[in-house]
Amino acid sequence: MHETLILVWTFFKVGIIAFGGGWSTVGIIKNAVVPTWISENDFRALIAIAQSTPGPIALNAATMIGWSHGGLVAAMLSTLSVVAFPVMAITATTLLAGKVKLNQGALDSSLKTGSLAMMLMTLWVLKPVSLDPLLLILMLGAFYISAFTKINALWAILGSGAINAIAGPWIRGLFGG
C-alpha cells in the first residue's frame, strides 16, 4: 500500500508538468521512474510499447508500471493520478472562464519553449546506451522516417522490433558480431 502511494504521488507530479504532447513528457517520466520502479532497458521497451498501443504515452506508462508493481488497483490509481492535475486544471479554468484573463500569445510561446526544452532533455536522457551497430542503424532509420516522411512512427517501432527479432542474429552473423 505504501508503495502504491509513492507511485501515485510520483505520477501526480508527472501530470503537473506533462506539457506539450507525448514525446516531451518522456524524459520527465524517465527521471521519475528510473531506476526506482523500472530498469533503464525496460524503460526504453516500455516507451516503445506505450507509443505503439492505443492511448496517450503518459497514461500507458503509468498503467504498465502500476500493473507490474501492485496489480489492478495500483494500475488504476497510477493511471488516474497522471490525469488528476490536468483534469483539475480543466475544471478550474472552465469554472473561472472569463474571470482570469491570460495572454494567450505569451502563454503559447512560453509553453512552446518549455516543451522544446523538455524534448531536448528527453533526447539527452534517452541517448543510445548500446553501441550495437544494427540497433544504431535502426535508430537512424527511425529518425529518417519520422523526420522526413509522413509514415506513422508506429511502423518504425514495430518494424525495428520485427527486424531485430527475426533477422537480428543472422545480420550480426554476417558481420562476424
Partner 1 sequence: MAKNNQPPTPIRLFFMFAQITTVTLGGGYVIVPVIGSALEKRGWMNEDDFYSIFVKAQAFPGPLAMSTAMLVSIRLCGFWGAFAAFWGILIPPFLALILVSDLIRTYGSLPAVQRFLAGAGAVVPGLVAAMVYKSVKKGSWNIPRVAETLILAILLALFPKLSLPILLGGIALLYGIEALCTKH
Name which of residues 123 to 152 contact partner 1 (CB under 8 A). Answer: 123-128, 130, 132, 135-136, 138-143, 145-147, 152
Based on the number of CB atoms within 10 Å of its own CB, is 172 exposed (0-12), middle (13-18) or buried (19 or more)?
middle
**Total interface residues for partner 1 by CB under 8 A:** 104
What contacts 19, CB < 8 A, 6 or more positions away? Answer: 25, 111, 114, 115, 118
Grid coordinates in use for 38? Answer: 523500472
96 binds partner 1 (CB under 8 A): no
160 binds partner 1 (CB under 8 A): yes
Residue whose entry in the numeric block shows the C-alpha cell 508538468: 17
108 binds partner 1 (CB under 8 A): yes
Question: Are the C-beta atoms of 17 and 87 separated by less than 8 Å?
Answer: no
What contacts 39, CB < 8 A, 6 or more positions away? Answer: none
Which of the 8 DSSP states describes residue 53? S
49 binds partner 1 (CB under 8 A): yes
Rule CB under 8 A: which of 66-95 touch partner 1?
67-68, 72, 75-76, 79, 82-83, 85-87, 89-90, 93-94
> Residue 127: what are its φ and ψ, rounded to 5°?
-55, 150
6 binds partner 1 (CB under 8 A): no
59 binds partner 1 (CB under 8 A): yes
Name the minimum Å distance from CB 150 to partner 1.
Answer: 11
Query: Which residue from 4, 19, 69, 171 is in contact with partner 1, where contact means CB under 8 A?
Result: 19
Query: Which residue from 7, 8, 11, 23 is in contact with partner 1, where contact means CB under 8 A?
Result: 23
Instruction: Give the DSSP letter string of 146-159.
Output: HHHS-S-HHHHHHH
4 binds partner 1 (CB under 8 A): no
Considering the complex, state which of residue 5 and residue 92 has its C-beta at the smaller distance from partner 1: 92
